[in-house]
Amino acid sequence: MVIRTWSSSGREWVLGEVVGSGSEGAVYTVERRPGLVAKLVPLAAEPDVYRLRVESLVRQGREPRTVKLLSGTPSRLAWPLDTLVTSGGVTGYLMRDMRQAFMPFEQLLLPTARRESLPEMTWATALRTAASLAALLADLHAEGYVVGDLKPDNLWADAEGRTGLADIDSLQFTDGRRAFPCRMRSPGYTAPEGIDSDVLPDRSSDSFVLAVLVHQLLMGGLHPFHGRPADGRPYFSLDDNVRNGRCRFTDPDSVVLPKAAPPTDLLPRAIRDLFAQAFGRSGCGTPASRPDAGAWARGLLAESRPGRLTVCDRDDRHVHTVERPWCPWCDQQERGATTWGATDTRPGHSEVIRP
């Protein structure tokens, strides 16, 4: 089945198969334009406001505010290029097809999927990916955009460590005197002040979620608030652990983790300090005290420089910081899990477990 739509200038665009879907809409291929896809949002909470939001983003995509954000190849953002409307009055927009340059970010967080799709990737690529994501967020913040619903589902990555962002229609921003808030929340990717609350996100809540994603990239997918409560209470959710400050990083005695979880001491000291600031008492309780995206970008880039990384003698895909005298990935394999390099096929060997 095809769907006929019309752009703001009246040009017809015919949409084909569904290539992705979310809570409010779906993404479709565009006939005769393989570099483009289209999103239609039939379930917008306020359809008229949604149409104004998309029209505003399309206009801003042609203004100086977005020049830096949209420069470079491949483009980092699936920015709305033009509005679309169906004969039934459903609003949507045209955007670049991120699949042409990137793979879903989620694949980087699943060691088995990553080893299949990117067998040569190492921890050095994970560092570059984290630095690139932090730089992207810093650039968005500098222009007054808050992502609000930052999560792996909205992100893209490639083998070189570049990152991209889709679902631009959910950004929080202002256009003149009009504010377009982001009310989306995703379990496991919400800052403490946003959990079960109507508080709107801001730059510091994005920075909290950035720290979560950086931890996942550098720790083989492990969420920093993963783990069973050590005091015997039942495990409910990552958000419950966030709310109760159960974090292997800032309070190692608060959670029980799989024995093969990557150790925190595989991180350079400067990065450990950033995590402690983001997830500790001040980072959880005082959002403004969290390291911002620029601090993360600078810190991660510094640890990616030549001379800051070394390679293991036993497996050349075991890359780690020079601060650690022996290989953390060999240690992890001895405890029964593989994040990087050749898989150990001995019985009992597994991936790091996620809730």
Instruction: By CB under 5 A, name the binding residues for Zn ion.
Output: 312, 314, 318, 327, 329-330
Q: In what order do the strands lie in the sheet with 163-165?
A: 103-104, 155-157, 163-165
Q: Which is nearer to Zn ion, 200 or 330 (CB)?
A: 330
Q: Which is nearer to Zn ion, 178 or 314 (CB)?
A: 314
Peptide bond just before 306 cis, omega within 30 deg: no
- Provide the pairing of β-strand 26-30 with 228-229: unpaired
Distance CA 272, CA 270 (A): 5
Q: Which is nearer to Zn ion, 217 or 327 (CB)?
A: 327
Q: Which residue has the tokens 């491949």?
A: 74
Smallest gap from residue 328 Cβ to Zn ion (A) = 8
CB atoms within 10 A of CB 334: 10
CB 78 within 8 A of CB 163: no
Smallest gap from residue 219 Cβ to Zn ion (A) = 16
Smallest gap from residue 326 Cβ to Zn ion (A) = 8
Q: Which is nearer to Zn ion, 118 or 330 (CB)?
A: 330
Q: Which is nearer to Zn ion, 302 or 311 (CB)?
A: 311
Smallest gap from residue 313 Cβ to Zn ion (A) = 7
Which amino acid, residue 202? D
Instruction: State the sign of the Cα–Cα–Cα–Cα dihedral 36, 42, 48, 53.
Output: negative
Q: How many CA atoms lie within 13 A of 253 on its CB side?
A: 1
Smallest gap from residue 310 Cβ to Zn ion (A) = 10
- The residues that bridge with 320 in the sheet, in sequence order, are 310
Smallest gap from residue 340 Cβ to Zn ion (A) = 8
Q: Which is nearer to Zn ion, 246 or 320 (CB)?
A: 320
CB 65 within 8 A of CB 140: no
Which amino acid, residue 159? A
Q: Which residue has the tokens 């030549």?
A: 306
Residue 84's H or E segment, with its range, is strand 82-86
Q: Which is nearer to Zn ion, 290 or 318 (CB)?
A: 318
Q: Which is nearer to Zn ion, 131 or 327 (CB)?
A: 327
Backbone torsion region of residue 133, taken as left when φ is above 0, otherwise alpha when ψ lies between -120 and 50, otherwise beta:
alpha
Smallest gap from residue 109 Cβ to Zn ion (A) = 21
Q: Which is nearer to Zn ion, 101 or 330 (CB)?
A: 330
Q: Which residue has the tokens 């039939």?
A: 42
Q: With 0-12 CB in 10 A as exposed, 13-18 as middle and 19+ as buried, what is 13? A: buried
Smallest gap from residue 118 Cβ to Zn ion (A) = 18
Smallest gap from residue 327 Cβ to Zn ion (A) = 3
